[in-house]
Structure 1
């Protein structure tokens, strides 16, 4: 699962990490965010329809284009890779509306035997960024106002990471970026099965990250885990 993540790198770093994508980024600076929560906007990368890609802001929590209203996004912040191609909310995006979500790291909570929840911050151990696989959709209000929203694709966690949570974001490497955005959906199975996953490291952080109103670099500072 992924319920909170960070976007800290400037556009120059996102652009460099995204290569060989032909990526267009906004003129405005990417403001660092240490506590991106569901129902808030984040930057994602989607196909521009002309062989390249572009970065834009979307709300986290996918609202299907056919939804009667925009209220149901919280239950769709994550899409399980095992079922995304069949789930009504994700079936269309899986076929033709995939995106990438640049991140510097993400948070997971571990609950001990006494019910105490300890947050951990996970980040790449040998790369400047992570790139989550995502799905997106466009929902239109009655007056025609569009809402662009996205979901982060997850897969089963393995090894030591599974001790933190049994799910993890699906994290891609540069050779898979363009294919994830544009390849026909039947080709995704072999693509993802052969894609290496990035190496991660993690440490305990304070409870302040649990409040979505909190933001700032102190949220990712290491603490001594109890």
Structure 2
């Protein structure tokens, strides 16, 4: 599950990490929330031999996937995540999984540990050695009845690894730089050809830092929401209850 994340790297750092020719300027974003516009990376147009067109290009999308067949998006739940294990078969995500895979630049994400079904401790989860990370994503262009179009997207999730599992049972799919081109190449690679990339990242990739509940309010957009706090204690009875019942998603 990924309901909030951050992108605090500079445009120049994002440009270099994803090998882009150009990228729009943007300020640090410490608390990116659903329905907000987010930066994604998609495959560039087909290139002629010797062309200087980029392999990958930036696309700004609404975080909240709307499938192309939807008649009234208001009738759908807010689709900010897609389960990687079933995306290729689900009617909602099948076309995007086959034709419109994307990368979502991030500096890390936030997750909430629950107790008795209620969120009690927020965590800022970032690459252990800093820098940027690329989440696997899907994009879809939705045509509104009036004729206008809106680009939308979702973050793919997978089962949590051992380092994150004590906080939440899901985590974003992480695509490594050496796999960017294979992931984005929807012409030559079907979903089955990239299924091996949708696995939990190695346990030592992320570190989880306990933070305050300031991140719950999307109006809190400053770096203070990433400051470490003393984690709240959790009674042993509550731990057993959550293990037995499973953890629910916040969004």
Query: TM-score, normalised on structure 1?
Result: 0.90
1:105–1:122 contact (8 Å) kept in structure 2: yes
Q: How many residues align?
A: 222
Q: Distance in 1 between matches of 2:3 and 2:141?
A: 22
2:125–2:207 contact (8 Å) kept in structure 1: yes
RMSD (Å) for aligned C-alpha atoms: 2.1
Q: Distance in 2 between matches of 1:58 and 1:112?
A: 34
Q: Distance in 2 between matches of 1:194 and 1:164?
A: 15
Q: Distance in 2 between matches of 1:13 and 1:207?
A: 29
- Runs of 4 or more above 3 Å deviation: 72-75, 113-116, 190-198
Aligned pairs for 1:168-207 (under 5 A) are 168-182=171-185, 183-192=189-198, 199-207=205-213
Q: Give 1 or 2: higher helix fraction.
A: 1
User: 1:193/1:7 Cα in 2 relative to 1: closer, same or farther (>3 Å)?
Assistant: closer
User: 1:222/1:101 Cα in 2 relative to 1: closer, same or farther (>3 Å)?
Assistant: same
Instruction: Report the alpha carbon displacement of residue 101 of structure 1 after superposing the two structures with TM.
Output: 0.3
Query: TM-score, normalised on structure 2?
Result: 0.82
Of structures 1 and 2, the larger Rg is shown by 2
2:218 to 200, 212, 218: 212
* Gap runs ≥5 in structure 1: none
2:161–2:200 contact (8 Å) kept in structure 1: no
Q: Distance in 1 between matches of 2:204 and 2:79?
A: 24
* Gap runs ≥5 in structure 2: 48-54, 233-251
1:40 to 36, 49, 61: 36
